[in-house]
Amino acid sequence: MSSSNVIRLPSASPNAGIRALQEVDDFASTDMGWGGEDRWTYRTLTDNQITPEMLRLSQAHGVDGHVDHISFQPCQSYEARSQDRYVVQIWDLPGGQWTFSGVFDGHGSHGTVDYVVQHLPAKVKASLHGALASKTASPASISRLLSDVITEIDNTITHDFLRLFPQRPDDLGRARDKDIAAHLKGQGVGPNSPNILRCMQGSTALLTLVGPSMGHLWVANLGDFLVSKTPTGTYKARRVNDVHNGGNPQEIRRIRMEHPGEPECVINNRVLGFLAPTRAIGDTWMKIPAVYSQKVLHRTKEFWSSGISEVNVDRIKTPPYVSNVPQVYHEQLRSRRSSSSSGDVDVALIICSDGLVDLYEDQDFEEEFILKRWAAKIGEKIAPVSANRATRLNLAAHLLRDAIGGDDLARASANLTVEMEERWMDDTTILVHRFL
């Protein structure tokens, strides 16, 4: 005789059915502005829920001295974790207090950008301390100092790789693969050595220095936007520096002039048809002879997982193709003390990774419109740094809230809660330096 166990479930109560319908009502679907037939589910949030959820998902946010900051990547999978890094440091140096800040947008993986964050700020501080202590510092010399440190960091990455191979590139090209592997093993170096992996990764660098009493500003980059207040009480923003990517015709022209007779040095506004940034720390494989990629780098799994192909490598004829020389800008800030009553006053500096601008792409906004929008957002909420820190609004978070959707609750909700395994937006880091 066989027996069976019967599980009896009680019928759902009317209230349970109502709750189930309410839960469904909290969800909607979106194409994320990409068009096509694909749809993804997201949870709708109220206006009061959006900013707390945005802050919960951010990698870091807060206020340090005069600088408000936030770094954001809402996709929570391990592989999609943010490659952006930022630094805010206040230095007590001879003659007064300096503020250093930097945004570093990594690509390829995390090794190079982490190396840059670990070493670059300390080198800038040491060099600046030496110049100030010896009383040799001037606006021009500090500009050179910033440029030299960025170039030195990149040259060190290249040197740490090339010193593994004392032979000339031609000799390396004739060497057998097993001999190269044995040579590296003899030095205790494997395919996952940081010295090797950093060559296939890179980072942009965007640095700012603000001198004592906020009188002078230096910007070095491999986008910054200065917000000022007019005598009429309105706010305006302008770009301080150039953009170093394939969208800048001047950068494309520079690369083509440096590599005459090489039509494939830039393809589809990408260096060697691969990289969007035209200046970066790392990306060493694009700065050295192709043989190093052909004999060493392409035998690592990271070479292939990063998307580099043999076609890209074969285009290398006269390296380097990616520059490690930044542009450095110096400005004397206009304050209430230094400006006449009829002049503009600089109130804030926005520095950010390109993810912030990308968040407006699907709305087809021109840069001029975005600058006006940011200036208005800063103007409506900025308060003197002397204001209560506990209640002071984080201006970086205020800008991010606008970028992910602002008052468009459906768009903001989708950007925060869409159910996708892969990242749906670029890493976004924002720093706002207040000058009030």
Tally of domains in the chain: 1
Q: Note the maximum CA span of the chain.
A: 101
Please report whether residue 409 resides in a domain.
yes
Look up the pTM and report it: 0.88
* Tokens encoding 81: 């974790």
On whether residue 5 sits in a domain, the answer given is no
pLDDT of residue 21: 46
- d(Cα 223, Cα 242) in Å, to the nearest integer? 7
The neighbour count for residue 407, using CB atoms within 10 Å, is: 10
Residue 99 lies in a domain: yes
Sign of CA dihedral 339, 340, 344, 345: positive
pLDDT along the chain (436 residues), means of 10: 58 54 74 88 96 93 92 92 95 96 94 97 98 94 97 97 85 84 78 88 95 92 67 82 91 98 97 96 97 89 85 97 96 72 82 92 83 92 69 90 96 95 93 90
Any domain includes 206:
yes
Residue 293 located in a structural domain: no
Q: Which residues contact 121 (CB under 8 A, 6 or more apart)?
A: 87, 89, 100, 102
Q: Is residue 362 part of a domain?
A: yes
The answer to whether residues 262 and 314 touch, using CB atoms and an 8 Å cutoff, is: no
Q: What pLDDT is attached to residue 342? A: 62
For 112, the domain range is 28-163+201-244+279-287+322-434
Residue 404 in 3-state DSSP?
helix
The CATH number of the domain holding residue 71 is 3.60.40.10
User: Which residue is listed with tokens 């390829």?
Assistant: 108
Residue 416 lies in a domain: yes
Does residue 369 lie in a domain region?
yes
What φ, ψ does residue 277 adopt, rounded to 5°? -65, 140
